[in-house]
Amino acid sequence: MKDIKLLQNSVSLWDIKKVSQSLLTFVVNLEGKGTWAG
């Protein structure tokens, strides 16, 4: 059970990093297109 919990923690941490990186890229792309300047 300990191994499974450790694996879940690693996966969720990796997911958070991936999601935040994707979000950052998305925001940068929006700013690059001048969406926020509106």
Q: Report pLDDT digits (tens) over 1-36.
A: 688 788 788 878 888 899 999 999 998 888 887 655
Considering all CA atoms of the chain, what is the largest pairwise distance in Å, rounded to the nearest integer?
Answer: 52
Give the total residue count for the chain: 38
d(CA 38, CA 30): 11
For residues 24 and 22, give the distance between their C-alpha atoms in angstroms, rounded to a whole number. 5
pLDDT at 2: 80
Q: What is the pLDDT of residue 20?
A: 93
